[in-house]
Structure 1
Amino acid sequence: MEEDKIHLLIVSPEKTLFEGLVKYVRLPGSAGQFAVFHNHAPLISSLDAGEVVYRSGKDKICLNISGGFVEVNDNTVSVCVTEATA
Structure 2
Amino acid sequence: MADHTLDVTIVTPDGSVYDKKNATMIVLKTTGGDIGVMANHVPVVAGLKIDAVKVKFEDGEDQVAVNGGFVEFSNNLATIVADSAELPEDIDVQRAQSAKERAEEHIAHAKEVSDKDELARAEVALRRALNRLSLTEK
The structural deviation recorded for 1:59 is: 3.0
1:19 and 2:12 matched = no
Residue 3 of structure 1 aligns to a residue in which SS? Answer: helix
Who is 2:51 aligned against?
50
* CA-CA distance at 1:56 after TM superposition: 3.9
Larger Rg: 2
Relative to the length of structure 2, the TM-score reads 0.58
The structure whose residues are more often strand, as a share, is 1
- Number of positions where the alignment pairs a residue of Structure 1 with one of Structure 2: 86
1:22-71 CA-to-partner distances (Å, cap 9, x unmatched) read: 11111110011101101100111110111100024523111111100111
SS at match of 2:45: strand
Distance, in Å, in 2 between the alignment partners of 1:10 and 1:28 is: 15
Give the unaligned 5+ runs of structure 1: none
List, as ranges, runs of 4+ consecutive aligned residues in structure 1 with deviation greater than 4 Å: none
Q: What is the RMSD computed on CA atoms of the aligned residues?
A: 1.5
CA–CA distance in 1 between the matches of 2:15 and 2:58?
Answer: 22
Greater relative contact order structure (CA < 8 Å, 6+ sep): 1
Percent identity over the alignment is 22
Normalised by the length of structure 1, the TM-score is 0.89
Unmatched segments (≥5 aa) in structure 2:
89-138
Distance in 1, Cα, partners of 2:84 & 2:58: 25
